[in-house]
Every structure is written in structure tokens, then in C-alpha cells.
Structure 1
Amino acid sequence: MKINPYLSFGGDCKAAFEFYEKALGGKIEMMMTHGASPMADQTAPGWRDKIMHVALSVGDFVLMGSDAPPEYFKPMQGFSVSLTIDKAAEAERVFAELAQDGNVGMPLQQTFWAFRFGMVTDRFGTPWMINCEKDA
């Protein structure tokens, strides 16, 4: 079994995933707009360039998402995408990238369980926890 987070956006999914591809060092494996789908003729003209589905691979991890139509979109809340990063320097780089124009909930810092831990909500509204654990 695999668990893959699926994020919903209100129209800026493409920009978010292009940002995540750079920030996380991943690769967008698939991105389809509503206009490129078999349902294009059933899609409102202003929504055809919005993302129906995207998949971003980062190592063994897959982050997926789409733009939700306005009547279904709700801002993200009640969860965080948690990243466990092996090296403190890489944790610092990823945290800094995600924090650009975002909101830092807890600065990246050493804790009793981690070399680095921090929480940030990026400029697209996705909440992240960055963790670089100490050895058990």
C-alpha cells in the first residue's frame, strides 16, 4: 500500500506544482488540464486551462493535485504534508524555498527529536512540516 497526498487548489495548481518541482527537487511526471481531457467539451471555457490532475515524483514519494471547481474548493486545513529529510543542509534549503512568500508557523530549528524541524504554510496555502531526525 502507498499513501500519496492529494492537494486541491482554487486555480493555481500549475504554478504550485511547478514551484514544488523546484523546491523539492522532484519531477512532474504528468499534468493534464481540463481542456486536454476527454471531458473538455463539458468544461466551462474559463476552466479549460486549469489542472485536472498532476503527479510529482520526489524519490519514492508522489505528490498529486488538481484545481477544484469554485463550488467545491475549500482552503487546506487540518493536515500538513510532512517531509523527512536526511541532511540538515537540505532541510534548510527546502524550508527556505517553501517559506518564500509563505507563513512560517515554527522556524526551522533543532529540537529534542530532530536536528532540524519547522512548520511553514507556503504561498499556495499548503502546510508543510520539515523534519531532519536525529538517530534513534
Structure 2
Amino acid sequence: MEPTIYLNFKGNCREAMTLYAETLGGTVLGVFTNADAPSPEDRMPGGDHLVMNMSIRLGSATVMASDAPEEWYSKPQGFSVSITPTSMDEFDRIYAILSKDAERVMMAPAETFWADRFAMFVDRFGTPWMLIIEGSKRVG
């Protein structure tokens, strides 16, 4: 059994998830919108454009997401999506794209006592991220 990350967005699910797939070398597996529902009773509040379910494949992981109607949405907290780029150049590329217009940068890219490079931020879609390259500081 493997956990699946499931993210909620405020009407920009397709934009966010497409950016994540493109930036992280993933593939969009599927997108279902309110308009795809067989009847009005099967739709969530908010309009035909809202994404009911979208999934992307990142390596061996699946990330799923949907738009949440205003009355269902709550800001993500208490977790971060953690990514381990394969090189410093890849780290810098991913950070530049995902942190563009970030809601908040808690830690800009820097060396720490536990990692050769680490960054922590909330992107413009509200998703909290951590990027890490342990490198020479890898434990175990």
C-alpha cells in the first residue's frame, strides 16, 4: 500500500496540476470536470468548469486533485509536498518555476546542517512545498 497525495484548489486545479506535471517530468493521467458528470445531481456546486478529479503520475507516485467549491475549500496546512531533485541545476529549475509568485517563502534555497540545499515555500496555488538535496549530509 502506498499513500496518494490529494490536493484541493480554489478553481485552478487544472492549471496547477498541469504545471506540476510539466515541471516535475510527470504525465497527466486524466481530468474529469463537473461538465463530465452524467447529471446535475452528480455535480459539485460551482459550475461546469470545476475539476472534480485530476490525476498525474510523477515517477512511481500518483498525485490526485480537485477544485473545491468555495464553501468546501480550506487552506492546506500541516503538511508539505517534498521533492528531491537529482541535481543542483534541477533544484534551481524546479524552485524557479514553482516559487514564481509564491504566496510565501519560509526558507529560500540554502545549505543547512541536514542538506546541501533546502527550500520551503507555498506556491501561488496554495500548495506547500519542500525541496531538498541531502547530498553529502545524507544520513544512512
Flag structure 1 segments of 5+ consecutive residues without an equivalent.
Answer: none
Equivalent residues in 2 for 1:1-136 (5 A)?
A: 1-38=1-38, 40-42=39-41, 43=43, 46-102=46-102, 103-134=104-135, 135-136=138-139
Identity %: 39
**Stretches of 4+ aligned residues off by more than 6 angstroms:** none
User: What RMSD, in angstroms, separates the aligned Cα atoms of the two structures?
Assistant: 1.7
Q: Is the 8 A contact 1:82 1:130 kept in 2?
A: yes
CA distance in 1, matches of 2:123, 2:23: 11
Number of equivalences = 135
CA distance in 2, matches of 1:109, 1:60: 28
CA distance in 1, matches of 2:106, 2:9: 21
Of 87-96 and 43-52, more deviation after overlay is shown by: 43-52
Q: Is the 8 A contact 2:28 2:56 kept in 1?
A: yes
CA distance in 2, matches of 1:26, 1:9: 19
CA distance in 2, matches of 1:53, 1:83: 22
CA displacement, residues 80-113 of structure 1 (integer Å, 9 cap, x when unaligned): 1111222221111111111111132101111122
CA distance in 2, matches of 1:46, 1:123: 21
CA distance in 2, matches of 1:31, 1:63: 12
Report the CA distance shift for 1:37/1:115 in structure 2 as closer, same or farther (over 3 A). Answer: same
Letter in 1 for 2:26: G
CA distance in 2, matches of 1:45, 1:14: 17
TM-superposed CA distance for 1:4, in Å, is 1.4
TM-superposed CA distance for 1:44, in Å, is 6.7
CA distance in 1, matches of 2:70, 2:122: 21
TM-superposed CA distance for 1:53, in Å, is 0.5
What is the TM-score normalised by the length of structure 2?
A: 0.88
SS at structure 2 position matched to 1:8: strand
Letter in 2 for 1:9: F
Q: Is the 8 A contact 2:29 2:55 kept in 1?
A: yes
